[in-house]
Amino acid sequence: MRDAGGHRRPRGAVGVTTVAAIDCGTNTIKLLIGDLPAVAVRESRMVRLGQGVDATGRLAPEALARAFAAIDEYAVLIADHGVQRIRFCATSATRDASNAADFTAGVRARLGVDPEVVSGEEEARLAFGGALRGLALSGSAPLPGPVLVVDIGGGSTELILGDRASGPRAAFSMDIGSVRLHERCLGGDPATPDQVSTCVAAIDAALDGCPVDPAEAASFLGIAGTVTTVAAGVLGLPAYDRDLIHGRVLDVAAVHAQVDDLVRATRAERLALGYVHPGRADVIDAGALILSRVLARTRLSEMTVAETDILDGIAWSLLD
């Protein structure tokens, strides 16, 4: 592990605190281990914990099994790196499930900590801070404020408006996400025009009720897997490469065109794209439509993409 100057830091060095952050969402569970700002491990597993939660109100047994398998792998990495502080944050799927206690007990047994079901306000603060701090550490120029940070997850989408110095000034979590909306609206392969229209109407209705107005933004920062996958397509990458995506500025018209292409494609056609993760191929249509509809309400011709997000915010919260 190396410090900000690139020098190797011995594990267990005096004054060094190794932290582990886990972000468990509806579709993905992510792990970051590091002596910040140095990062030793950044892992992601597509477990689809929120499978069917919108319809049944319960975490499916097979979804729990997938999540626990990933957490078992993470527990080994955490032990190997001598982690001193752990924070496990769970979002939409475990907020909504009637059997969330089963998940909590499984996490506690494996990691010795309880998953935190963070509030929408805390989720916004962590996502905003993690995204902007990550851009600053990578040397990107500051974005003009107010900055609209858009975090599209599997079960919810957060819109956060603020600036780097003072943090979020307005935030809202909409009950729409790539998994939730795909299951509700987009059953075809590819989705039919009527299904797409239904999905767009649901997104627009959610935005109509959102107190955060995208039109107020002077800059747009998109984070999390839906956005970064769309960005990889806009950039024409043959395979997903976070280093080539982080901090890139994209033309909004090109983003809309890429969204249209992804929505029209079949699941098999998306799988053939080297930058689309197999666990995202079926639901990227709904997530991409959310991105497009939010962008349509801004007055911006460009958007910035960050590979740092709520996971980084969780990690920094263990030290701040």
Cβ neighbours, 10 Å, residue 178: 31
**Beta strand spans in 112-237 (E):** 116-117, 147-152, 157-163, 167-174, 219-223
Q: Residues 317, 18: contact at Cβ < 8 Å?
A: no
Q: How far apart are CA 37 and CA 316, in angstroms?
A: 9
Percent of the chain exceeding pLDDT 90 equals 81
Tokens of 90: 């769970």
Average pLDDT, the chain: 92
Q: What is the pLDDT of residues 35-48, one digit of tens each?
A: 999 999 999 999 98
- For residue range 293-311, list pLDDT tens digits in order: 999 999 999 999 999 999 9
Q: What are phi and psi of 101, to 5 degrees?
A: -60, -30
Region(s) of the chain under CATH 3.30.420.150: 138-311
pTM of the model: 0.89
Domain over 138-311 is classified CATH 1.20.200.10: no
Where along the chain do the CATH 3.30.420.40 domains lie? 19-117
Give the mean model confidence (pLDDT) for residues 81-96.
86
DSSP 151: E
The CATH number that domain 19-117 falls under is 3.30.420.40
Give pLDDT tens digits for 119-144.
Answer: 777 888 899 999 999 999 999 999 99
Measured between alpha carbons, how far is 211 from 157 in angstroms, rounded to an integer?
A: 13
Digit-coded pLDDT (tens) for 148-167: 999 999 888 999 999 988 88
User: In this structure, what are the phi and psi dihedrals at residue 87, rounded to the nearest 5 degrees?
Assistant: -135, 125
Q: Give the C-alpha distances (Å, rounded to integers) separating 94 from 24, 67, 283.
A: 9, 12, 19
**pLDDT tens digits, one per residue of 244-294:** 999 999 999 999 999 999 999 999 999 999 999 999 999 999 999 999 999
The tokens of 42 are what? 């950044």
Could you give the CA distance from residue 298 to residue 115 in angstroms, rounded to a whole number?
Answer: 35
The pLDDT, as a whole number, for residue 241 is 97
